[in-house]
Chain A
Amino acid sequence: MSAQNQHSPHVILRVVSKILIPLIALFALYVHFHGDYGPGGGFQAGVIFASAIILYALIFGLDEAKRAVPPSWVRICMSLGVLVYGGTGVATWMLGGQFLNFTVFAPESTHASGQHWGIFAVELGVLFAVTGAMVAIFYAFGSRVPELRDEDW
C-alpha cells in the first residue's frame, strides 16, 4: 500500500491535507470550547472533527483511516456520548435536583457556575455522540464502495 502511495498522482493533495487535518481537528476543539461565547457548540464541533477523519480516509484510503481510528473506538465513542449526556441528567437527580437542571452542581454560586459545568458536560456528550455517529455512517458506506478509478470522476 505504501509503495503505491509514493507513485500516486495526488501528491499535492496528500501534502496539503497532511497540514490541514490537524488544523481542522484543532478548529473543532476551538468551536467546541468557545461555544459558550461565540457561534458553535458540541454538534458543529463533532461534525468538523468527523470531517477531519473523513478527509484523512478520502486522501489516504479507508484502511489507513481504520488503523488511525479503529471502528471499535467509533462504536464506543457514539455510545459514550449518549451516556455522558444522560449521565449528567442522572447526576443532577443524585444531587437532589430535577433531571438536567444544572443549578444543583453549584447552588451557592453567584455567577451560575453550576449551569456552566452542566452545559460543558452536556456539550461534551453531544461532541462524542455526533463524532462517533458521523464517522460510523461514513465507515459503513465507505466499506462497501469499490476502489475509485480515475475515470469515474
Chain B
Amino acid sequence: MMEGFTPILLLDMGLLAMLVVVAFAVVRLRSLFAIVMLQGVYSLLSAAWFVSLDAVDVAFTEAAVGAGISTVLMLGAMLLTEREAKPVPFQKQLGPLFIVTIVALAMFYAVGDMPAFGDALSPANSYVGADYIAATKNDIILPNVVTAVLASYRSFDTFGEVVVVYMAGLGILLLLGLNGNAGKWRAKPNGQNITGRKNTAEQREDKP
C-alpha cells in the first residue's frame, strides 16, 4: 500500500476532504451570504483539484466561472431576497434523505466498475481520444490538443455552446431588462418592500 503513496495523493485527499467539509457547511448553514461565499470556495478547491489531475483547461474555466462570475451573480440574486434561508421541518427532509441515500448507494455500487485513474485502456483514453491526440500533430499542428478538439474537430458543438451562452444572456435580458426595466420592478429583501421607481427617483436627486 505504501509504494503508491505520493505527496500528490496526499494533496488530492486533502482537497477532497476539504470539498466534503465545505459541502456539509453549505447544507447546514442558514445565512445565504455565507453559503454564496462557501460555494465560491468550493469552486476554487475543485479548480485546485483539477490542476492536480492535469486538467488545466477545466481548472481554468472552473476558477473563472465557478469562483468568479457565478459568485457575483448569486450575490446579486441574494440581495433581492431574504438574507436567511427558512428552516425546513424534519418531516419534509425525510423524502429527500431517502432519495439521496438510494443515489449514494447506487454510486458506491458503481465505483467498483470505474477504471483506475490514468488507465491507458479505459474507454476515455482509447477510441476517439487517442485518435484526436495522434491526428492533431498532422491536421492542426497546435501544441494544445484541447483547443484543437474544441475549435476545429468539434467546432459544431462549440457553435452550439456559444448559441446557448447567447440564449442565456438573451433570456435574462428579455425577463429583467438591461436597465432594470426602466425602474418598473419590485423586490422584498429583509421583509421591506422596495421598488425601482422610488430608487431611480432618489438617484435623480443625487445627481446635480
- By a beta-carbon cutoff of 8 Å, the part of chain A in contact with chain B is 1, 4, 31, 35-41, 43-44, 47-48, 50-51, 54, 58, 63, 71, 74-75, 78-79, 81-82, 85-86, 89, 99-100, 102, 111-112, 115-116, 118-119, 122-123, 125-126, 129-130, 132-134, 136-148, 152-153
Provide the residues of chain B in CB contact with A116, threshold 8 Å.
140-142
The answer to whether B79 and A148 touch across the interface, beta carbons within 8 angstroms, is: yes
| B198 closest partner in A (C-beta) | A146
B38 within 8 Å of A by Cβ? no
Q: Which of B33, B76, B199 contacts A138 (CB 8 A)?
A: B76
* Subset of 13 A-B contacts with CB under 8 Å: A35-B147, A37-B142, A41-B150, A78-B165, A78-B170, A82-B163, A82-B166, A118-B151, A140-B173, A140-B180, A143-B180, A146-B189, A152-B83
Q: Which of A37, A58, A153 contacts B144 (CB 8 A)?
A: A37
* A86→B207 CA distance, assembly (Å): 43
The answer to whether A144 and B178 touch across the interface, beta carbons within 8 angstroms, is: no
* A89→B158 CA distance, assembly (Å): 12
The answer to whether B196 and A100 touch across the interface, beta carbons within 8 angstroms, is: no
| Count of residues in B whose CB is under 8 Å from the partner chain | 58
The answer to whether A85 and B176 touch across the interface, beta carbons within 8 angstroms, is: no
* A4→B165 CA distance, assembly (Å): 37
Instruction: Please give me the 4 A-B residue pairs with the lowest Cβ-Cβ distance, nearest first.
Output: A143-B180, A133-B169, A141-B76, A140-B176
B125 within 8 Å of A by Cβ? no
| A102 closest partner in B (C-beta) | B152
Provide the residues of chain A in CB contact with B152, threshold 8 Å.
102, 115, 118-119
The answer to whether B144 and A100 touch across the interface, beta carbons within 8 angstroms, is: no
Q: Which of A81, A89, A141, A144 contacts B73 (CB 8 A)?
A: A141
The answer to whether B144 and A39 touch across the interface, beta carbons within 8 angstroms, is: yes
| A88 closest partner in B (C-beta) | B155
* A111→B64 CA distance, assembly (Å): 33
* A99→B114 CA distance, assembly (Å): 37
Binds A, one of B15-23, B53-61, B86-94: B53-61
The answer to whether A85 and B162 touch across the interface, beta carbons within 8 angstroms, is: yes
Provide the residues of chain A in CB contact with B196, threshold 8 Å.
143-144
Provide the residues of chain B in CB contact with A50, threshold 8 Å.
69
B85 within 8 Å of A by Cβ? no
The answer to whether B147 and A119 touch across the interface, beta carbons within 8 angstroms, is: yes
| A126 closest partner in B (C-beta) | B162
Provide the residues of chain A in CB contact with B64, threshold 8 Å.
44, 47-48, 51
* A47→B170 CA distance, assembly (Å): 17
Interface string of B129-155 (1 = CB under 8 A from A): 000000000011111101110111001
With A118-B152, A143-B176, A145-B79 already in contact, the answer to whether A112 and B166 are too (CB < 8 A) is no
Other than the known A126-B162, A152-B79, what 6 A-B pairs have Cβ atoms closer than 8 Å?
A47-B68, A74-B178, A138-B73, A140-B178, A143-B177, A144-B185
